[in-house]
Structure 1
Amino acid sequence: MTAEDVIAGFFDDSKNTLPVLMYADELYQEALRICMEINTRYHEPAELRKIMSRLIGKDVDESFRLFPPFYTDFGKNISIGKNVFINSGCHFQDQGGIEIGDGALIGHNVVFATINHSLDPSENRKNYYAPIKLERNVWVGSNSTILSGVTVGEWSVIGAGSVENDENDENAETSDQTLPESSAGSTLIAYFSATGTTEQVAEYIGNILDTDIYEIVPQVPYTDEDLEYYTGGRADLEQDDPSARPAIEGGVENMDQYDTIFLGYPIWHGQDKCA
């Protein structure tokens, strides 16, 4: 018996034999146990990805990020692409199938509901299942609900608090800031990262846009002591004195090949904004 047998039974009552129904109940209880495991204590991101992989029955990409709590009552009909972020409090009712495309951003308390019921009072306990699909780079705002049968097109933005019950719903708008896929080599992300945070952001954007990435490295690496502020040390000196900027190791070859360059760097202590 497999999860696929259970999923087939959602769409075809003739396949809902007693063994299938009993196994479905086992999977429901397993999903509840794993959700409790996710939600009741802190997990490092890598550990959380392993638990999520157990929950959905397939490996999630190392670029996947989840902020618990997270809830699902089945789990085995969820598919998650690369560079997906799911914020806290989301509910995935996935019996009908939930497919999350690459680059999706899902806000707080979003509900995916793949089950519907008949409006006929005599049949209102009968379930009807239909999948939900988010194509590439969809952004779903907080407290939104996406109902069964909806496909959200790539680069669409679902406004916070929306209810999506049709793939052409007016709340699903293609962003005016659509970022076209760059041809190989035409876009560069150059970044400096002191502690690794800017590096993660640069790699996240680079994976979505398929860009070249270049790390800016100082000739003399920073130590933990260098990054301690208000001590008169290196970080204070370089921030306050333009003539004390560090020398850079190496450089970008063939800079002329790039039409667009994104420059990333940390917000240094004491600054209220960065370029």
Structure 2
Amino acid sequence: MKSEMDVGTKAYEQIEKINHRNQLLVQQLNDTPHTQPEIRKLVSQITNEKIDETTEIRLPFYTDFGQNLHLGKNVYISNCSMFVDLGGIYIGDNVLIGPNATITSVNHHINPEQRRHLKFKSVYIHDNAWLGANVTVTPGTTIGENAIVAAGAVVTKNVPANTIVAGIPARVIKTIKEKN
């Protein structure tokens, strides 16, 4: 995937075709009750990757594109989470994502004449991370292994492994000590 895309180009038209198909699947996913195996099957269609049977996704579940969302094993995604994944979102194993979390890998230009053009920066959430309720993760950031992002935090910079961050913008408030 390129780091930028202009609206109205052939590449953007291809993205829109995939997006249209996936939005129908997202609507189908959220409009009727489903078992966890059914949810994983539909999300697998949306992401174009098999979702591991250990992963649990609570509805409603939202993504604007879907095919650049990559989920590890034993992931828990709570209800009303939103993934703006056109730039790539990579979620490791054993990750917990609280309700109403927003993870975005797309931004826009500052220049008003280019504002509708897209800029992509992947987001990486490493193994055993925990994102609390109402967390926002901005494009280009990495959440380190075992890190905790407190409820309501806005992540604008990388979160080191084994730390707890909180606030707007999120900042380190504590280091997690590993067991001996």
TM-score normalized by the length of structure 2: 0.86
- 1:138 pairs with one of 106, 129, 137: 129
Whether the 8 Å contact between 1:152 and 1:172 is mirrored in structure 2 is no
- Please state which structure has a larger fraction of its residues in strand: 2
Aligned residue number for residue 165 of structure 2: none
- Structure label with greater radius of gyration: 1
Aligned residue number for residue 140 of structure 2: 149
Change in CA separation of 1:31 and 1:106 when aligned onto 2, cut-off 3 Å: same
Aligned residue number for residue 109 of structure 1: 100
- 1:84 pairs with one of 57, 75, 87: 75
Aligned residue number for residue 25 of structure 1: 16
| Structure with bigger RCO (C-alpha 8 Å, 6+ apart) | 2
Aligned residue number for residue 176 of structure 2: 175
SS at match of 1:136: coil
Determine if the alignment matches structure 1 residue 73 to structure 2 residue 64: yes
Determine if the alignment matches structure 1 residue 96 to structure 2 residue 97: no
Whether the 8 Å contact between 1:159 and 1:172 is mirrored in structure 2 is no
Aligned residue number for residue 192 of structure 1: none
TM-score normalized by the length of structure 1: 0.57
Change in CA separation of 1:75 and 1:172 when aligned onto 2, cut-off 3 Å: farther
Aligned residue number for residue 27 of structure 2: 36
Per-residue deviation, residues 126-157 of structure 1 (Å, max 9, x unmatched): 22110000000000000010000001100000
Per-residue deviation, residues 14-42 of structure 1 (Å, max 9, x unmatched): 9x962x33321111111211111111111
The one-letter code sitting in structure 2 at the alignment partner of 1:175 is: I
Structure 2, unaligned runs of 5 or more: 160-169
| 1:122, distance to aligned residue in structure 2 (A) | 2.9
SS at match of 2:41: helix
SS at match of 1:46: helix
Structure 1, unaligned runs of 5 or more: 1-7, 181-275
SS at match of 1:31: helix
How many residues in Structure 1 have an aligned counterpart in Structure 2?
A: 169
SS at match of 1:133: strand
Per-residue deviation, residues 31-72 of structure 1 (Å, max 9, x unmatched): 211111111111111111111110100101110100000111
Change in CA separation of 1:163 and 1:35 when aligned onto 2, cut-off 3 Å: same
Whether the 8 Å contact between 1:111 and 1:144 is mirrored in structure 2 is yes
The one-letter code sitting in structure 2 at the alignment partner of 1:102 is: D
